Amino acid sequence: MLRYMLVRIVGAVPVLLGITIAVFFMVRLVPGDPIDIMYSNQPKPSPELRAQIERDMGLDLPIHRQYVRFVGNALQGDLGTSYRTKQPVTEHITARMPNTAKLTIASLAIALAIGLTAGVLSATFRNSWIDRISMLIAVAGVSVPAFWLGLMLILLFSVKLGWFPVAGSQGWRYLVLPAFTLGLVVSAVLARITRAGMIEALEQDYVRTARAKGLHEFFVVYRHAPRNALIPIITIIGLLIGSLLSGAFIIEAVFGYPGLGLLAVQALTTRDFPMIQGIVLFVAVVYVVVNLVVDILYGFIDPRIKYT
């Protein structure tokens, strides 16, 4: 088992290295001089001050040395300084990350509750009206844009009914609408995967044997079958967390929720490239780490995986 974990961890290193390269050159390929962007709303710096800033930011170094410096600083938790606020990017990410984490966890909990329930019911009552309605809603959930759904929820529950606030993060009521928006969209994917996994599991020999022994159908469906059905679901959960993080960027902007997504949108509108670079790198690393954890969990859940 230890060898299996080490192989997976070592395999993640090239992915992380590729992320740093992509993020580093993504910002460098954007037109415009970084110093001019920093002083876009201020008097232009003198040649002496410009030269000093270039030395401080490492812009006078060759591109490969800039990359090495960028990776070295990132490994120490230094993601640069924001052009807009002149404060470390790490401080902004640290301050906003708890809000995004709460939104992601709440959305995932809603998606699991709705998606797993709908998927199991659809598989249990296959080809019935329950199955058709569940899958129709799932297809609609996959097709509907998250930002449109968020706006409709705001119109109904905030503007018309006044049950929940439109924007902010001063309590659990501010979390309900954005979490439901993300959770409902993701639950549609989860419901379809769960249904397929449960249908396959219910057709296995061990399920037929359990039924032949006289085991109650409730225990067959909700205790024995889900064990195998959970394997593809765990895989998709790792991917869905990435979808939730990326979806949070749009939803946080729609609801004015002060997380990493809203911070990224603000950075894009002000061309705050160090902030954009730091957020993209942080979210990408979190995504890789989450999928690495899911990959390692496979070794514990699925005995068919060979550790060697």
The 10s digit of each residue's pLDDT in 57-96 is: 666 777 788 888 888 888 888 887 787 777 888 888 888 8
State the amino acid at position 234 in one-letter form: I
Nearest CA among 273, 295, 302 for reference residue 89: 273
The 10s digit of each residue's pLDDT in 226-258 is: 666 677 777 777 777 777 777 777 888 888 888
The 10s digit of each residue's pLDDT in 5-60 is: 777 777 778 888 888 888 788 777 766 666 666 666 667 777 777 777 777 766 67
Place of tokens 């979806």: 247
pLDDT above 70: residue 222: no
Paired tokens of 61: 């170094």
Instruction: Set out the domains of the chain in order of their start, with CATH numbers.
Output: 98-258 (1.10.3720.10)
The 10s digit of each residue's pLDDT in 274-289 is: 888 888 888 888 888 8
Return the higher-pLDDT residue of 194 and 39.
194
pLDDT over 90 percentage in the chain: 0
Predicted confidence at residue 303, as pLDDT, reads 59
Length of the chain equals: 308
Tell me how far apart the alpha carbons of residues 291 and 277 are, in angstroms, rounded to a whole number. Answer: 21
